[in-house]
Structure 1
Amino acid sequence: MSVLDPTTTTTAGSPGDSPGPAHVVDEQPRRSGLWRKILRSRRAQVGGIALLVIILWAFVGPYLYHWDSVESDGLAFGAAPSASHWFGTNDIGQDIYAQTLVGLQKSLLIGLIAGPGATLIAGIVGAMAGYFGGAWDRVIVWVIDLLLVVPSFYVLVLLSPVFKSLTWVALIVGLAIFSWMVMARVVRGQTMSLRERDYVKAARFMGVPSFTIIRRHILPNVASLLIIDATLGVGAAILAESSLSYFGFGIQVPDVSLGTLLAAGSSAAVTRPWLFVLPAATLIATVLSTSLLGDALRDAIDPTSGANRD
C-alpha cells in the first residue's frame, strides 16, 4: 500500500501554509492496475454480480410479482410452492416469496448502513488514537478493550427492549456501535506508523491542523483496509441482524426480515421445508456474495493475504 500522497511536499514553508505539489506522484497507473486485478478476479466477478442481482431482486422484484407481503390467500393456507405462490404460503395464506423480498430489503438496508457505519467509526477513532497518542490513545484503547471483552451479542439482547420501542434504525445504531473495535485497533497501528512519515511531519511543521492531516494524509492511506472492512461488514451485519431477529431480539413481528422468516419457519422445517429453506437459502446467498467480494478486494489490495487463490 502506497503511502505517498500526491498533494504532499517535504519542503518547509511558513506556518499555516498548505503542503504544495513539489513531489507529485501519479498513482493513476497503480489504481488502474488494481481495478484490472479486481475485475479479473473470479471471486470478485461472482460475488459482485451475485450481490448486484440480489439487490435488484430485493428492490425491483416486488413490483414484478402479483402478491403483496401482507396479503392473504384464503384458498391457500400452508400451500407448497406453485405457479401461483412461488415460495409457497404460511399458515394464514401469506405469500412467502413476497415476504422474503421484503425481509431481504430490510436485511440489506441494515447491512449496507451498519457495516460501513462501523467502519467509519473505526477509521475515525483508530486514526485519532494513533495520531494523537498520549491520553487520547490510552482512553480509546481502554474503551476498545472493554467493548471487546463484553460479548456484543448479549449486550444487544439486553438492549432489545429499546429496539422494540424504537424503529429498526435503532438496531442499525446498535450493530454499528458494537462492530468497530477490531478494525479500530488495526487503523491505530497503521496511523502510529504513518505519523512518523516525512510528509506528515512536514505538514505538522507547517502548522496544518491535526484533523486536516488525519483527513488528507492518514485516512487515505488506510482506505484500502477500510474498504475491505466495510464490504465484509455488510455480510456480518446482515448475519448479526438475522440472528437477533431469529431469537426475537431484533426486528419485531409484524415487521419482516430474513431472521423473522427463519424463526417463523423453523418449527415446520421438516414438514413444510419451503417455509424455512427458501429464506435460509436467500440469507446464505446474500452473505456469501458479500464475503466473496470482500475476499477478492482484500487479495487485490494486499497480495500477501492469499494471492493466486482464484
Structure 2
Amino acid sequence: MTIAQEEAVEASLDPANVVGPARRPMSRNRLVWLRLKGMPRFWVGAAVIIFIIVWAFIGPALYAWSPTERDPLNMNMGPTMIHWFGTNAIGQDLYAQTLSGLQKSLVIGLIAGPAATLIAAVVGSTAGYLGGWVDKSIGWFVHLLLVIPSFFILVLLSPIYKGLSWVALTIFLAIFSWMIMAQVVRSQTRSLRNRDFVRAARYMGMPTGQILRRHIIPNIASLLIIDATLGVVSAIMAETSLSYFGFGVQKPDVSLGTLLADGTAAALTRPWLFVFPAMVLIILLFAISLIGDALRDAIDPTSGVNRG
C-alpha cells in the first residue's frame, strides 16, 4: 500500500471526517418557537396574560365581596383594607366589579377575535381560490361593508342586540371585524392557487374545501395567527368603546367599558372609580400587543426589526 493510500485510509477512519446521516430539516413550528424563546417581550406578555386570566377567574372566589353586593356604611369610599379598590356611590365594591368586568371583556375578546379571523380565512380563501364571479361578488360585498366603519355599523345595530345578552354582542363583533383580513387572505390565495402543489391537488380531483384546508390556509397560517392575536385586542377595544357609550354590555352586566363610563364623571373627585379599571384595561391590551408583536417577528422576521 502506498503512502498516499495509507493516508486516505487514516483520514476515512477519523471520526471528524465521517459523514453521518443527513439531519432532518427543522420544522416551521419549531423554528418559530426557537425565535419566540429568545424574545423577552413574548415572555413578559405571556406572563402578564396568564396572571390576568388567573386573577380574573380565580380572584373573585378569594375575595369577600361580590360585584352586586352593597356596603351602605362605606359608600363612595376610597381604597381600604376592606374594599381594595374602593366603592361606588351605592356601596358596591369596585375590586369585585373590576374582576367581573375583566372576565366579560376577556371572554368577548378571546371569542370574537379568533372568530373574526376564522370568517376572514374562509371567505378570503374561497374568493381568492375560485375567482371569477364568486371572487367579484365577495369582493363587492366586502367593499360595501368597508364603506361604513364597523363601529358605526354596530352602533346602528345596537337596538337589536342591546336587549339580548352580551353573547349577542360577541357575535356581532365577530361578524363585522373580518373584512380587512379577508382582503389580505384573498390576495395571498390568488398567489398560491397557481403553485405546483395546488395544481397537482386539483388535477388529482381533490375537492375545493380539502384544497383550502390542506394547501391554502396552512400556507397563510402565520398571517392568521397574528390577526387572531391582534384581533383579541381589537375586540376588547371595540367592546369597551361600545359599552362606554352605552351601546355594548348593558346593566346589570358589568364590563370594563361600563366601569369606565361610570367613573369618568368622578375621575377628579373620586379617581379610584376611573383609574383602577383604566389601568387594568391598559395592562391587558399592552400584554396582548406584546405577544402579537413577538409572534409577528417570529413568524415573519422580515416584517420588522427584531427587537427581542
Matches within 5 A, 1:198-217: 198-217=196-215
Partner of 1:58: 56
Residues of 2 paired with 1:29 and 1:254: CA distance? 49
Matches within 5 A, 1:272-287: 272-287=270-285
Partner of 2:9: none
Cα distance, 1:28 vs structure 2: 4.6
Q: Indicate which of 146, 157, 161 corresponds to 2:159.
A: 161
Moved segments of 4+, more than 3 Å: 26-30
Residues of 2 paired with 1:184 and 1:39: CA distance? 30
Inter-CA distance 254–210: structure 2 relative to 1 (3 Å threshold): same
Describe the superposition over 1:9-34 as per-residue Cα deviations: whole angstroms up to 9, x where unpaired.
xxxxxxxxxxxxxxxxx665432121
Inter-CA distance 199–282: structure 2 relative to 1 (3 Å threshold): same
Partner of 1:31: 29
Residues of 2 paired with 1:75 and 1:264: CA distance? 21
Describe the superposition over 1:228-271 as per-residue Cα deviations: whole angstroms up to 9, x where unpaired.
00000001100100000000000011110000000011110000
Describe the superposition over 1:206-240 as per-residue Cα deviations: whole angstroms up to 9, x where unpaired.
11111110011111111111010000000110010
2:233 aligned partner, one-letter code: G
Q: Indicate which of 173, 176, 179 corresponds to 1:178.
A: 176
1:218 aligned partner, one-letter code: I
Residues of 1 paired with 2:222 and 2:196: CA distance? 21
Inter-CA distance 100–27: structure 2 relative to 1 (3 Å threshold): farther
State the secondary structure of the residue aligned to 1:299: helix
Bigger radius of gyration: 2
Matches within 5 A, 1:1-310: 28-310=26-308
Residues of 1 paired with 2:204 and 2:29: CA distance? 30
Contact 1:69 1:95 (8 Å CA) reproduced: yes
Describe the superposition over 1:98-125 as per-residue Cα deviations: whole angstroms up to 9, x where unpaired.
0000000000000000000000000000
Residues of 2 paired with 1:151 and 1:50: CA distance? 31
Percent identity of paired positions between Structure 1 and Structure 2: 63
What count of residue pairs does the alignment treat as equivalent?
285
What TM-score results when the alignment is normalised by the length of structure 1?
A: 0.90
What TM-score results when the alignment is normalised by the length of structure 2?
A: 0.91
Q: Which runs of 5+ in 1 are unaligned?
A: 1-25
Q: Which runs of 5+ in 2 are unaligned?
A: 1-23
